[in-house]
Amino acid sequence: MAATTTFLREAELRLLRCTLPSPTSQPAPPSPPPAHPLGPVAASALAAVEAGDYAAALASAVPHLLHGSTLASADFATASPAQVYADLAAAAESFLQGDGGATAGEGFQCRCAVVLSAAVAALLAFTQQNVTGPSGKFPPFPFQIPSLDEGWFSDPGCKWDAWASDHLASLGSHVHGKFSLLQFIIFAELLFTSIKSLDFSNCWSVSWWLCRISMCQQNILDEQSSSLYDQVQVYKNKMLNHFGELEKVSSYWGSLLCDEEGSSFVSAAFLEAGIAEYKYGRVDASRLHLDSAQEACGIHLSLTGILGFRTIHQVDAKSQMVLVAKTTKPADDEGQSAELTGAQSDGVALKTVRSSVPSESDEFCDILRTPRLAQNGNDSISESTPSASTKISLTAIQQAAVLAQCLHVSRRSRSDEMSGWEMAPYIESIDSQDESYFVVRSLCNVLRIRWESTRSRTKQRALLMMENLVEDIAKEFPVVSQRAKMVFGVHMPTIPALRKEYGELLISCGLLGEALNVFKDLELWDNLIYCYRLSGKVADAVSLINARLLVTPNDPRLWCSLGDATNNDEHYKKALEVSNNRSARALRSLARSAYNRNDFYSSKILWESALALNSLFPDGWFAYGTAAWKDKDLEKAVDAFSRAVQIDPENGEAWNNIACLHMIRGKSQAAVQAFKEAVKYKRNSWEVWENYSKVALDTCNIQLTLEAVKTILNLSSNKRFNADLLDKVMTTLEEQATHLNNTQEAESISNTSYDAHEETRRSNQLLDIIGDILQQIVRSGASNAEIWGLYARWHKSKGNLMACSEALLKQVRSLQGSGLWHEQMKFTKYAQASLQLCKVYIEISSTTGSRRELLSAEMHLKSSLKQATDFSGTEEYKALNDCLVELKDLIGAA
C-alpha cells in the first residue's frame, strides 16, 4: 500500500473509529502526515474530531476549503442561502482537485482528508446537539468567513436556519420539532458528495457516511420520505458491498486494523443496514441484515423460560422469559474494560450512567427491573440469584445487536400487551451488563420506558426514568467523544423526539400543564393543539399559532396546524402557497376535506399530488384507494390498495378492499388470493370471511367456502350465516352425488376407478362438513325455515328419512304465521315445503309399511287445502291437491 494512500485510509479508519467500538487492543499511534502544507491541517482536524472537539475541527479545516473562493468576499446580508451553498459545493470540488485538477499524490490525499474531517465534524456536531448531548457552543454556520459579523450569530430570525429547514422539507416532509445546527447536516452532505463526485474508488467510507447522513435526515422529519428511502438504499448497498465481508475490510485497511476490529466493522455495517430497513418498515430485509450482524459479531440469541421472581413480594417462582446469548467471541473482563473505557476515566462514567432510574423510584414500585432467577429449579426466593447461563458479558457491538433484535421483535409482533413482554428479555439482558456505551444504555432505557409506561404498576417508574434520561443527556459527563460511540449503530431517538415522548407520557399521567411547556419549547404545534383540546382551550392554541405566524409567516407547518385547529381549508391552501406546492401534509389535509364533502374526484386528484411528493406516507395509499373507489375509478383503486400492501404487507383492510374490487370486476380467482392474505391479518372480522366465502364458491372451491362459513359462525356466535350460499353448496353436493351414483351404476363395482372412489370420499367429507355447520346453527336456536329445509335435504342425502321428515315438519311450522293464507310468496314457500314433507312421508311408508305417516300427510294436506281457498287457481294448490289424491289411493290400498 502506497504511503499516501496509507495516510488517507488511516484517516478514514480513525474517523470511523470515532463512532464505532474502540478496539480491544491499543491502536498504533497515528502516522506522521505527509510532507505537504495541508498535512498538519489534516492531522489537526483528525485529532480534534477524535477528541470530540468538532468546532475546533471545523475551524481548522473549513478556511482552507474556502481559501481563494468568491465566498470570502460575499455579502451575506443579501446573498441567497441556496446560492451560497451551491458556491460552497463548487469551492469544495475545486479544493479537492487542486490547482492542477489531479486526483492522486500527497496533495490530493491531504485535501481529501481535510474535507473528510470537516464533513465528519459537521455531522457529529449535529448529532451532539440533537441526539447524544450535551449541548455545545457552536456557531450557527458550519463555515467561518470574515464577512459573517457578530450580528449574524445572534440574529434569532436568521433566514439561513429557515432555509435549511425548508431545504430538508423539500422532500415532501417537514422537520419534526426544534433542531439545532440544521445547516451542519446540509454542509456535511455537501462535502461528502463532493468527494463522491470525483468517483475516487480509494475512499470507500464515503458511502457509509452518506448512508448515515440520509438516515439522520430521515430521523428528523415528521414522516418517511420516499426520496430519502431511495438514497438510503443506494448508499446502503454500496456500504455493504465495501464493508459487508471481512475479507474486503481486511484487504482495504490491512495492518492498520487491530485484532477482531474487522469483524466489528462488518457487524456495524449490517447493524446500520438493518436499522435503516427497520425504519422504513421492511421487516424481512431488516431481519436478514440483523442475522448477518449477529453472525459477524459472534452472537446467537434465543429465548427460554427459567423459574424466577418478578416482584419483590412474590413467594413462589414462576416461569420467566429470559434471553440466552451464546457468543463465539465473548468479552472477557480485561478486553471489555479496554473497549469501553477511555480518556478522563470514562469507565467510571459508563458505570454512572448504567441506569436512568433513581434509587428512590423502587419505593413506588414492587416490580423488579430484572427478574431474580432461581438456581437449579429451586423456587425458594432465598435461593434466587442471577443465572450463569443468562448473565454473560457482551461486547459493545453485541449489545447493539441485542437492542436491534429487540426493535425487530417489536415491529414484527402485533401491538398488544404481549409484545412488550417479548421485548423485555432483550432489555433486561442489556440492563444486566456491567458496562455499556452511553447511547446503548440510553436506548435500553428508552425501550424500558416505552414498555413500562403501558403498565399501570410501572408507569410512575417509567415517568421518573424519562425525567432522569432527559436530564442525563444534558449533563457534561460522559464526554462527547464517548457519547459518539455507536451513535449510528443503535436506533436512538433524537433529543426533540425523546422530549416529545416525555410530553406524551406526561399527558398519559394527567400532567397537561408540564406537557404544554414541553411541546411549546419543541414547537410541536399539533401536540400543543391536542393538549389545548384536552383542556378545552382550542382558542388559546389558535392564538399561539397566530402569534408564531407573525414571526415566521412562511412556515407551512404552522399554517397546517392552524388549519387543523380551525377546520379551515384556506389555511392549508396558504401552506401550499408558502411551500411552493411542496407541502404533502397540506395536500393530504385538503384531500381529506374534499372526501368529507363527498367530492371524491377532487379528493382523488389531491391524494395523487400528495403521494407524488411522498409515496411512503403509511395511510396515504389506502385513503387514495378509498377515494378512487368512491369515484368509481376501480383501476386506480386497485393500484392504490396494492401500493398500500407493498408498504405494509400486514394491512388486512387493504387486502380486503383489493379482494372486494376483484369481486366487483368479476375476477374471482384474484379475489380469492387477496382474501387469503386479508384473513391472515383480520381473522376476527366476520365481514371479511363472509366475502371470502362468496368468492370461494364462485371459484367452485366448496371446502374453502364451508371453512369460511364455519369461521363466520364461530366469530358471530352463530348469528351470521348465508342461507342462499349454503343452498348453492347443498345443490352442488347433491348434483355431485347424483353424478357419482350414475357413474358407479354404469361400471361394475370391481372396475370402479380409484378416481371415482376419491371423488366419493371427498364428496362425503364435504357433506359431513356442511352437516356440522347446519347442526351448529340448529343447536344454537338461530335456525329459520331455510335452514330447516337445508337440514332436511342433508339428512335425506345421508339416507336418514325420519330425521329428514322431522326437519321438514319444523320447516313447515316455521313458515306458518300471519299473512300465510293471504300472500302469494309465503304460500308458495309453504306449499313447496308441505309437498316435500308429504313425499318423504310416502317414501317412509313405502319402506316401513306403516300407515301412520300416510295418515299424518293426509291430515296435513286437508287442513292446508281448506285454508288455502284464496290460492285455488295456482300451480302450488293443484300440486297439493294431486298429492292428496295420491295419498288417498295409497291409504285405500294399504
Q: Per residue, what are the HEC states of 567-629? A: CCHHHHHHHHHHCCCCCHHHHHHHHHHHHHCCCHHHHHHHHHHHHHHCCCCCCHHHHHHHHHH
Same domain, 270 and 379: no
- Average pLDDT along the chain: 87
Element (H, E) at 813: helix 801-815
Q: What is the largest distance, in Å, between two alpha-carbon atoms of the chain?
A: 129
Ranges of the chain with pLDDT below 50: 1, 150-151, 153-157, 333-354, 360, 380-389, 750
Of 85, 94, 142, nearest in space to 119 by CA: 142
pLDDT for residue 803: 93
Of 169, 199, 229, the last residue of a domain is: 199
Same domain, 351 and 433: yes
Q: Which residues contact 604 (CB under 8 A, 6 or more apart)?
A: 624, 627, 628, 631, 633, 636
Residue 498: CB atoms within 10 Å: 20
Of 778, 793, 812, the last residue of a domain is: 812
Same domain, 36 and 162: yes
Residue 337: inside a domain, yes or no? yes
DSSP state of 160: H
Residue 655: inside a domain, yes or no? no
C-alpha to C-alpha distances, 661 to 271, 388, 479, 644, 688, nearest whole angstrom: 40, 57, 59, 14, 13
Which residue has 485484532 as its cell numbers? 259
Give the whole-angstrom CA distance, residue 242 versus residue 370: 40
Residue 520: inside a domain, yes or no? no
The Cβ-side half-sphere exposure at 397, using a 13 Å CA radius, reads 34
Same domain, 251 and 319: no
Total domains, the chain: 5
Give the whole-angstrom CA distance, residue 235 versus residue 91: 24
Of 825, 892, 827, nearest in space to 858 by CA: 892
Three-class SS of residue 434? coil
DSSP state of 304: E
Check: CB of residue 657 under 8 Å from CB of residue 629: yes
pLDDT for residue 101: 54
**828-864 CB burial, b ≥16 within 10 A, e <16:** ebbbbbbbbbbebbbebbeeeeeeebbebbbebbeeb
Residue 587: inside a domain, yes or no? no
Q: Which residues pair with 327 in a beta bridge?
A: 299
pLDDT for residue 607: 97
Give the whole-angstrom CA distance, residue 293 versus residue 290: 5
Same domain, 128 and 248: no
Angle of helix 81-97 relative to helix 182-197, nearest 10 degrees, comes to 40
Residue 843: inside a domain, yes or no? yes
Query: Per-residue pLDDT tens for 358-368?
Result: 554 556 688 88
pLDDT for residue 200: 61
Same domain, 317 and 359: yes
Same domain, 836 and 808: no
Same domain, 193 and 210: no
pLDDT for residue 5: 65
Q: Which three cell numbers, joined as nine digits, stand for 676? A: 387469503
Same domain, 194 and 211: no
- Separation of CA 151 from chain center: 46
Check: CB of residue 124 under 8 Å from CB of residue 16: no
Q: What is the C-alpha end-to-end distance of the chain, expressed in Å?
A: 115
Residue 237: inside a domain, yes or no? yes
- Separation of CA 221 from chain center: 17
Same domain, 34 and 137: yes
Residue 129: CB atoms within 10 Å: 21
Q: Which three cell numbers, joined as nine digits, stand for 530? A: 391536542
Same domain, 256 and 156: no
Residue 451: CB atoms within 10 Å: 20
Strands 299-311 and 318-327: antiparallel
DSSP state of 474: H
Phi-psi label, residue 370: left if phi above 0, alpha if psi -120 to 50, beta otherwise: beta
pLDDT for residue 24: 83
Q: In degrees rounded to 5, what are phi and psi of residue 558?
A: -65, -40
Q: Which three cell numbers, joined as nine digits, stand for 269? A: 455495517
Residue 602 identity (one-letter amino acid): S
Residue 689: inside a domain, yes or no? no
Check: CB of residue 647 under 8 Å from CB of residue 616: yes
> Which domain, by its residues, includes 36?
7-199
Of 134, 152, 142, 135, nearest in space to 60 by CA: 142
Residue 879: inside a domain, yes or no? yes
DSSP E strands, 343-441: 367-373
Of 199, 218, 252, the last residue of a domain is: 199
Same domain, 41 and 119: yes
